[in-house]
């Protein structure tokens, strides 16, 4: 795996050491069981995989290189580079300005962008329309394009599907930067439709099987299908791709479900003519993080702390998995741990923060699940761990616990 040159303050001596030990003991990553850190009165269960993925480290390296290489140029990011406030705030402190917000709303007019400016493409990629606009302005984006290679792989698969006369079904959030970019690439060569979840997949199946009148298709999927999408003809040959930060298990479940629908309509002997196999578009990092979370949930814990940006799709999905099993608190950083009795955390469904009291149970040993999203620096996870430890004055020191971990 490539080693990226990213600022040292995103690295963590504690978390880095734990990951190094696990990598040495399990180089092929076959063991998804958690790392157990026993501090005596508090015990942490750390996910086997969490934190920066390949695509995020690649994006960070390129962005800081752009700053270093262009001291006399104005530098812009199309929008947030990744969905993490610590990283984005640091980039802004270093002079980078955001042209749009995460919803695509303009923060800086395109008229203010000139050919000599540096424009960085974020890890989510961008639409063909924006690329064309920048090209017209004479702005080169190739040098500082941080688009995740696993996102571009999805785009290439969409292109292949289009050339094979498939309609592309995109499992994603239609307003997410990555899905907007994927949709832009997909609709260039194929009728395309965005569905958010299994509920919408079931509605789509009803249209395919004639259980719903096609006259209602446009209203239900308004704003989520391409101009050339015709429900009368575009649903007889399909392939499913995804926003890489969606739940991989849900993407696969949707694909399997739609395959059964096509079998029901066309017969198993004809399925290859109507349904493409697109399992190769699932992101390895999303899979690993989610598998590691399932590994965490096999253990009995009192609560879960999930660390990451509040607009991070992959982090919210980890929260979704955890809260099915136990009290779960979604925090951006250690500052949300207000005290040993109060925590400020994010409700991703309501999009609001709330304060919960007595989140740490009063018992002899408190067991805490700890993980983070793919855009969260390890230092932030370390800070959360240390903040919790500060509430347990009788806890063993970190060096002792790490030394014991090395002996296992």
- Under 8 Å between Cβ of 150 and 285: yes
Active site residue 178: yes
- The C-alpha atoms of residue 51 and residue 383 are separated, in whole angstroms, by 13
- The C-alpha atoms of residue 206 and residue 202 are separated, in whole angstroms, by 6
**Closest alpha carbon to 281 in 122, 399, 155:** 155
**Closest alpha carbon to 372 in 326, 300, 316:** 316
- The C-alpha atoms of residue 341 and residue 213 are separated, in whole angstroms, by 54
- The C-alpha atoms of residue 221 and residue 290 are separated, in whole angstroms, by 29
Residue 171 backbone class (left: φ over 0; alpha: ψ -120 to 50; beta: rest): beta
- Under 8 Å between Cβ of 89 and 328: no
- The C-alpha atoms of residue 223 and residue 175 are separated, in whole angstroms, by 10
**Residues near 161 by beta carbon (within 8 Å), at least 6 away in sequence:** 167, 168, 186, 190, 239, 241, 276, 278
DSSP class per residue in 272-318: GGTB---GGGS-HHHHHHHHHHHHHTTS--SEEEEES-TT-HHHHHH
- The C-alpha atoms of residue 71 and residue 58 are separated, in whole angstroms, by 21
- Under 8 Å between Cβ of 405 and 20: no
Element (H, E) at 193: strand 192-195
Helices (H) and strands (E) in the chain, counts: 13, 13
- Under 8 Å between Cβ of 264 and 210: no
- Under 8 Å between Cβ of 290 and 318: yes
Element (H, E) at 149: helix 149-163
- The C-alpha atoms of residue 193 and residue 198 are separated, in whole angstroms, by 14
Residue 210 backbone class (left: φ over 0; alpha: ψ -120 to 50; beta: rest): left
Catalytic residue among 178, 250, 288, 336: 178
Tell me which residues are annotated as active site: 178
């Amino acid at each position: 795996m490539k080693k990226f040159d990213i600022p040292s303050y995103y690295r963590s001596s504690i978390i880095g050491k734990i990951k190094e030990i696990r990598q040495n003991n399990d180089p092929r990553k076959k063991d998804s069981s958690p790392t157990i850190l026993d501090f005596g009165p508090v015990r942490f269960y750390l996910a086997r995989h969490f934190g920066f993925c390949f695509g995020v480290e690649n994006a960070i390296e390129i962005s800081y290189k752009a700053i270093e290489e262009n001291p006399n140029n104005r530098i812009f990011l199309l929008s947030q580079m990744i969905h993490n406030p610590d990283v984005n705030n640091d980039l802004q402190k270093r002079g980078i300005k955001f042209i749009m917000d995460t919803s695509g709303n303009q923060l800086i007019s395109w008229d203010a962008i000139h050919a000599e400016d540096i424009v960085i493409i974020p890890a989510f990629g961008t639409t063909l329309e924006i690329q064309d606009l920048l090209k017209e302005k004479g702005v080169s984006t190739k040098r500082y394009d941080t688009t995740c290679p696993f996102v571009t792989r999805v785009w290439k698969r969409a292109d292949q599907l289009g050339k094979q006369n498939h309609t592309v079904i995109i499992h994603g959030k239609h307003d997410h930067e990555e899905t907007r970019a994927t949709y832009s690439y997909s609709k260039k060569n194929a009728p395309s439709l965005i569905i958010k979840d299994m509920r919408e997949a079931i509605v789509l199946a009803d249209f395919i099987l004639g259980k719903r009148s096609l006259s209602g298709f446009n209203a239900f999927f308004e704003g989520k299908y391409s101009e050339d999408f015709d429900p009368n003809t575009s649903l007889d040959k399909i392939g499913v791709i995804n926003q890489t930060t969606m739940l991989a298990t849900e993407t696969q479940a949707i694909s399997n479900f739609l395959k059964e629908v096509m079998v029901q309509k066309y017969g198993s002997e004809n399925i290859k003519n109507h349904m493409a196999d697109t399992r190769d578009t699932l992101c390895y990092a999303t899979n690993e993080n989610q598998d590691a979370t399932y590994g965490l949930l096999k253990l009995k814990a009192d609560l879960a702390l999930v660390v990451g940006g509040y607009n991070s799709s992959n982090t919210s999905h980890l929260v979704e998995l955890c809260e099915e099993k136990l009290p779960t608190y979604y925090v951006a950083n250690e500052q949300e741990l207000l005290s040993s009795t109060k925590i400020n955390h994010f409700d991703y469904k309501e999009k609001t923060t709330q304060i919960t009291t007595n989140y740490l149970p009063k018992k002899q040993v408190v067991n805490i699940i700890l993980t983070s999203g793919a855009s969260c620096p390890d230092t932030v996870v370390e800070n959360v761990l240390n903040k919790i430890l500060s509430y347990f004055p009788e806890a063993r020191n970190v060096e002792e616990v790490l030394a014991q971990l090395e002996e296992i």
